[in-house]
Structure 1
Amino acid sequence: MKKSTTHELLARRFQVMGQHSPVFYEQPLHLVRGEGVWLYDKQGRRYLDVYNNVPHVGHCHPHVVETLNKQASQLNIHSRYLNDNVVEYLERLTASFDDSLSMAMLTCTGSEANELALRMARHATNAQGVIVTDFAYHGNTESVAEIGTGFMPEAKRTKRVKAFAIPDSYRGLAGVKHEELAQAYAAQVRTAVDEFEDAGIKVAAILVCPDFANEGLLNVPAGFLEEAVAVVRKAGGLFIADEVQAGFGRTGKHMWAHQAYGVTPDIVTLGKPMGNGHPLAGVVARPDLVENFSKQAMYFNTFAGTPVSSAVGMAVLDVLANENLQQNAISIGDYVIKGLKRLQSKFELIGDVRGLGMFFALELVLDRKTKLPAIHQAKRLINIMREKGVLISTIGVTDSILKLRPPMPFNETHANLLLETLDASFEQLIEEGH
């Protein structure tokens, strides 16, 4: 294996992956090892990981690694053969959902899961139209890119996708009172349905992340999602909940973020944390949807639903339960939110503090009255944090919202380091004249 400096490795990367393959930070990290909530670079420096939700139960968790190695040394085949692991895993997984969501289909990535969900919804409804937010991201296959209103060029060209404004109770809608926001946003969903009908297109589904993470981890106006889903269902469409970011207990109070609402999805998509870094994802749905789709359109995925993947998935569920990580998301989540609000009272740049279990967002603004996004300050701040050894990122329409989403074993000691580093980084930002 060639050994390179960080600069040399970046140059080699550009040669084989292209100039526009994304990397974090102005000085990209050259990482070589991970353990728990920590990442280590080539020089041996460790960084507190407050960003990655893929290593859900911690980087290289011993139980997950041991389980993977043990099963990989015994058998790994595709799902056309019978294997106890696959069935047991899906039984355990679906048991955490509403009784109506009792069947599952496995994939390798969240993109594949959302692609499969769209195929299933369109097959069941004999319709094509899909409704999403106006800053959505749900993966990178062609049909999923088509609903990627936040980033994807395909979304600008399609006629079978309509978008509604992100349901943001912090910024709201011009001229709309706070208590009327839910109905106002739901009215936009109704308009999307009407526009589809005018174009001769039937509605297949509304697809959203229940935590609206990519949009900024929004505090959704109460009643909005229930009303929006009712509008879509009345038009014959389904509700698809994308739990790729919010699932597996991250919200603390619920295993799945959609369980906080008064409406149950028809289809749920899973990914990222499902395999703790192993490529494991899937769809959980009503049995009639799975059976009817599978009867007409055989679904098979060579690398999905293998004994190894299923064993890894079960190991993740084991750790979540044995280490009480869902409760940890509640207690540490509350602790972090209190600390972030103390910082908000100290720094005018912090316009809003939002949290959902072990997931936090700080919306930075130049003025709390006008709520003008502090775009450059947010970008500078994540780089200062990186220099100080804590890794975070940004989200939102203008990339002015700090995204804090650590692995689930994050504890009070880690939280204190995060809060202290944020405090020092905001101070440095001010000293630099930002």
Structure 2
Amino acid sequence: MGLPSVDWLVRPIAPVDEADALALLGERYGVRGGLQALGSQQDRNYRVRTDTADHVLKVTNPAVDPSALRLQCTAIEQLAAALPELRLPKPRPGVDGDPLQWLTADGSKLACLLLDFVPGEPIMDSRYLAPAVVARLGSIAGRVAAGLSTLAAPAVDRPRLWDLRNALTVVETLAPHLRDQIGAQRVLRAARAAHALLEPYAEGLATQLIHGDLTDNNVVCETAPDGRPMPVGVIDFGDLGLGWTVAELAVTCTSVLHHHGAGPASVLPAVRAFHEERPLGDDELEVLWPLVVLRSAVLVVSGQYDVLLDPDNDYASDALEREWTMLEVATSVPAQVMTAQLRHALDRASTRERPAAGARLIPTLPEHVHALDLSVFADALHTGLWQSPNAEHDLVREELSATQGVHTRHGEFRMTRTRVDGKGPAETCALGVELYVTEPLEVRAPWAGTISRDTDRVVTLRQDDGPDLILDGLDTGTLTPGPVEPGQLLGTIADFDGLHVLGVQLSHLTGARPPRFAAPELADGWLRVCPDPTALLLPKTPEHQMSEEELLTRRNDAFATVQEHYYEEPPRIERGWRQYLVDTRARGYLDMLNNVTILGHGHPVLSDAVHRQWQRLNTNSRFHYASVVELSERLAQLLPAELDTVFLVNSGSEAVDLALRLAWATTGRQDVVAVEEAYHGWTYASDAVSTSVADNPGALESRPPWVHTVAAPNSYRGRHRGEEARNYGPEAAARIAALAAEGHAPAAFLCEPYYGNAGGMALPDGYLEQVYAATRAVGGLCIADEVQVGYGRLGTHFWGFEQQGVVPDVVTVAKAMGNGHPLGAVITRREIADAYRTQGYFFSSAGGSPVSSVVGLTVLDIMRDENLQANALEIGGYLKRRLVELGERHPLIGTVHGCGLYLGVEFVRDRMSLEPATEETAAICERLRELGVVMQPTSDRQCVLKIKPPLCLTRDSADVFVAALDDVLTYGW
């Protein structure tokens, strides 16, 4: 095979004798130590370990001009002064004061530098990069570009392989010599197309000295508290030289694309961060993505060529797969779309957002054409109808029965195209519209242009200056391709499955047909390239679509921010169905968190029952009606016979507050014993006995003197672990006895009978039996807080206290009882309830109202009819087994707590010390959201995944959750 003779492209470096390198170190730099070879495509790099410090010996390729090495030293010194917080490989002077020294190898005289070793680890493998990490890469690139902007360029600008001004030349020179010519032609086509988009702007782009290779492999990172690799330094200035400033960012962006889960939109945090440090001009935005394509093309051809020259170069060989990945991702979306997306990300207007004006496509279109709502707000898509493959056509047929025409909406994120259960984000954003009519109406050209037939019933009308018009569903009859005039008949709307439907789309893409739908992460770019064609069909009233960011700002302005929201960038959730949630971009999520909606979201039986009752009556429980009686009876029947009297309230906080007041009224005293690390509510009394520092950092210090605590009976990380956890019960019993002896006999002992706030773990066997006995021995009442754990969630038992084999005096319940409706209850014995008379009367406005009572009854009916407790047992058991298996492969998983669908995965940094992985857990939850799973941390250490999904969870959904968690723990967060 003939090889190209362009010397500046590549030249293999001669083998270097390590003895010669050691001699050079001692004689020229006064350094003695051991050598460790480091990878490089074209140089020889060694880590030098000495007793006092580590260095890097760089033996450069003979193609490198020595003046370039001196320039690298100057650049590093300038950046060190401008960016003192950035770790840099500062050059070490030789014994003669010159950092540049020489070594002869195989007859070649090779220039050498000895640099400070920069501590940290690169992120060259293909693990996932979080947006925060990508943003830091972009920020460093911007700061380096700004820091080098004042450094004088060399008098002679020699051509360099990695200078993107030479990218097309490099690709065209090397591609013909590669073994894989099919792949080489793909690279050539991509490079030439990108260069054509770049060329009109090339002469006007800003140039300066740039690092030229500021990639994931050339930054060093420290592990942040959340476990993410956070860049803190820059290494390898071997590609320093004159280049386009925007090329610095393009190189950084390209390196992001090979990482796990990365797509074109993954670079946006880097672009925003670079722009903050060194603002990007309009022309630079126009060329950024073409430069990303060119950079990836150069990587592919140069990497393959390096292996061709030096088959033993493992560094180059190992990079081949990720270099191809970068090119494939870079070319997976048209560059014009990414340019539009970049403009949107930086809030830059585009000159090509408005379609050309034209006449109406269908002059005889009926006056009343109804807009079909297929969004997450569509009332017609309730009860899961959006999951039907025929949902759109079924709705159209229903609408056409009452009107003459129906059209869909441009830019709408259609819930009918939402995917769930781990299938990834769907292409939900409509890039055109469909018109449905009852007869084959004529379609005429809105402007002059050239018509072409793409496929059967699909034609494109092109014009010289303006977007293409694509018509799908046109019966063109005898129309021949070629020029057409405004108003010329193009055909009639064809019949499709009994419907006359015409798809209409505009596109600024040249020579390519856009998709009909776009994924949410690139929708803004696609919508700029494919503007709204609705005005070609009928008058369109301008409407403002409020962004998620605008709504979040309004929330923060009007809604007390102490009422926090989930996630750093919360999706706007406006629809739920069973175990799924859907945001306004029609992204589906698996809800593994919502223990309130025990039946699942949007249950039709419950919504119908509420609707009927609201139409009939809603008052309060002082009136006499049947539903409040029936609900009270049903609740009492679910409990031991002695718990026969019910109070209905509107929340768990109110239930716990009332339970405490009952104890005070019954015993005539106020002291209460509560368990540490527990949460019980937000009213005065329920907050006073809440000891979780996660919910209130000052909980232990601020509780009133009548609240006394006993140790959290945590058998995993508490004072007593494993078999020793049996000591918690006697210790708590002794504490209660001691309080009584001190004159503070408790009115009540309050505890979740399954330890919820800590992550969903069983209490030690016999714990409640011992503590309840001690409490009753001093005249106190035993309160079981079942707000989280009750109502069948445990699978094995309907109530948590049943798992302990005890009967409490008072039971509190809420959350699941109303499936999201504000409903709770306190169930106790008649004499305890009657004791409250000494305090006056009790009343809860919403508690026990007709609507609330019907909600409570219907929830119980559905749980029975759909056998949800049994499902919690079966699916929960299956899910726990799979999570335990994950723990065998991922050391971050310390243990898996819980039973049924009340589980907790506890993350630890070390399984011996049990150091909580708090920051990692928060980051893992963020990554799970990106993968379509809603999850949040719990426990005082916030290191446990709170796994409390609706009880309708399926085995498939359990598998989706486990797969997502496995992905995160395998590839990073």
Q: TM-score normalized by structure 2? A: 0.43
Counterpart residue type for residue 945 of structure 2 = L
The one-letter code sitting in structure 2 at the alignment partner of 1:423 is: D
Does residue 82 in structure 1 map to residue 628 in structure 2? no
Which amino acid is the alignment partner of residue 65 of structure 1?
S
Cα displacement (A) at 1:226: 1.2
Report the CA distance between 1:262 and its aligned residue: 2.0
Are residues 1:283 and 2:804 paired?
Answer: no
The offset of 1:346, in angstroms, is 0.8
Summarize the alignment of residues 220-259 of structure 1 with structure 2, pairs less than 5 Å apart. 220-259=763-802
Matches within 5 A, 1:402-417: 402-417=945-960
| Residues 332 and 410, structure 1, Cα contact 8 Å, conserved in 2 | yes
Which residue of 163, 168, 188 maps to 2:709? 163
Residues 184 and 109 of structure 1: CA distance in aligned 2, closer, same or farther (over 3 Å): closer
- Matched with 1:202 is 745
1:104-159 Cα offsets, whole Å, 9 max, x none, are: 00001111111100000011011111111111210001111111111344653310
- Please list, as runs of the form range in 1=range in 2, the aligned pairs for 1:353-368 lying within 5 A after superposition: 353-368=896-911
How big is the shift at 1:211? 1.2
Choose from 27, 35, 49 the match for 2:591: 49
2:634 maps to 1:92: yes
User: One-letter code of the match for 1:315?
Assistant: T
- 8 A Cα contact 1:333 1:355, kept in partner: no
Q: What is the Cα deviation at residue 294 of structure 1?
A: 3.6
2-structure distance, mates of 1:247, 1:221: 18
Contact 1:131 1:189 in 2 (8 A): no
Residues 20-76 of structure 1: per-residue CA shift (max 9 Å, x gap): 321111221211111111111111111000000111101110000000000110111
TM-aligned CA deviation for residue 220 of structure 1: 1.9
Task: Report the counterpart of residue 109 of structure 1 in structure 2.
Answer: 651
Query: Contact 1:333–1:357 (CA<8 Å) still a contact in 2?
Result: yes
| 2:407 paired residue number | none
- CA distance 1:137–1:184, change in 2 (3 Å): closer
Measure, in 2, the Cα distance between the counterparts of 1:144 and 1:211: 18
- TM-score after normalising by structure 1: 0.95
Alpha-carbon spacing, 1:309–1:350, altered in 2? closer, same or farther (3 Å): same
Residue 570 of structure 2 corresponds to 28
Contact 1:203 1:232 in 2 (8 A): yes
Pick closer, same or farther for the CA change 1:2–1:88 going to 2, 3 Å. Answer: farther
> 1:166 & 1:379 partners in 2: Cα distance?
23
Q: Does 1:299 align with 2:839?
A: no
Q: Quick check: 417-426 or 287-296, which moved more?
A: 287-296
Q: CA distance change for structure 1 residues 422 and 123 in 2, over 3 Å: closer, same or farther?
A: same
Moved more, 284-293 or 180-189: 180-189
Contact 2:711 2:728 in 1 (8 A): no
Confirm or deny: 8 A CA contact 2:767 2:804 kept in the other structure: no
Deviation of the 1:18 alpha carbon = 3.2
Query: Matches of 1:68 and 1:50 in 2, distance apart?
Result: 25
Shift of 1:217: 1.3
Aligned amino acid, residue 576 of structure 2 = G
* Native 8 Å contact 2:647 2:825 kept in 1: yes
Question: 1:257, CA displacement in angstroms?
Answer: 0.9
Contact (CA 8 Å) 1:134, 1:164: kept in 2 or not? yes
**Which deviations, in whole Å up to 9, do the C-alpha atoms of 1:159-204 show, x marking residues without a partner?**
000111110111242xx57434223453145225524642x33311
Q: Secondary structure at the match of 1:73?
A: helix
Aligned to 2:408: none
Native 8 Å contact 2:665 2:838 kept in 1: no
Residue of structure 2 equivalent to 1:181: 725
More divergent stretch after superposition (184-193 vs 336-345): 184-193
Structure 1 pair 16–192 and aligned structure 2 pair: CA distance change class (3 A): farther
CA distance in 2, matches of 1:172, 1:75: 51
List per-residue Cα deviations over 1:188-234 (Å, max 9, x = no partner): 45225524642x33311111111111122123221122111111111
Corresponding residue for residue 391 of structure 1: 934
Q: Matches of 2:820 and 2:763 in 1, distance apart?
A: 30
Question: 135-144 vs 183-192, which deviates more?
Answer: 183-192
Shift of the alpha carbon at 1:425?
1.3
Tell me: CA distance 1:154–1:340, structure 2 relative to 1, closer, same or farther (3 Å): closer
Confirm or deny: 8 A CA contact 1:249 1:255 kept in the other structure: yes
Counting matched residue pairs gives: 427
Would the aligned equivalents of 1:251 and 1:358 in 2 still touch at CA under 8 Å? yes
Q: Is the 8 A contact 2:598 2:951 kept in 1?
A: yes
For residue 428 of structure 1, what is the aligned residue in structure 2? 971
Cα separation, 2, equivalents of 1:362 and 1:272: 22
Equivalent position to 1:134, from 676, 683, 700: 676
Alpha-carbon displacement from aligned partner over 1:59-105 (angstroms, at most 9, x marks no partner): 11000000000011011111112111110111111101000111100
SS of the equivalent of 2:585 reads: coil
Q: Which runs of 5+ in 1 are unaligned?
A: none
Please give the secondary structure, in 1, of the residue aligned with 2:754. Answer: coil
In the alignment, is the contact (CA less than 8 A) between 2:872 and 2:901 conserved in 1?
yes
Say if 1:109 and 1:279, in contact at 8 Å, map to a contact too: yes
Q: Percent identity?
A: 36
- Larger radius of gyration, structure 1 or 2? 2
Mark the runs of 5 or more structure 2 residues left unpaired by the alignment: 1-542
Measured in 2, the distance between the counterparts of 1:77 and 1:304 equals: 10
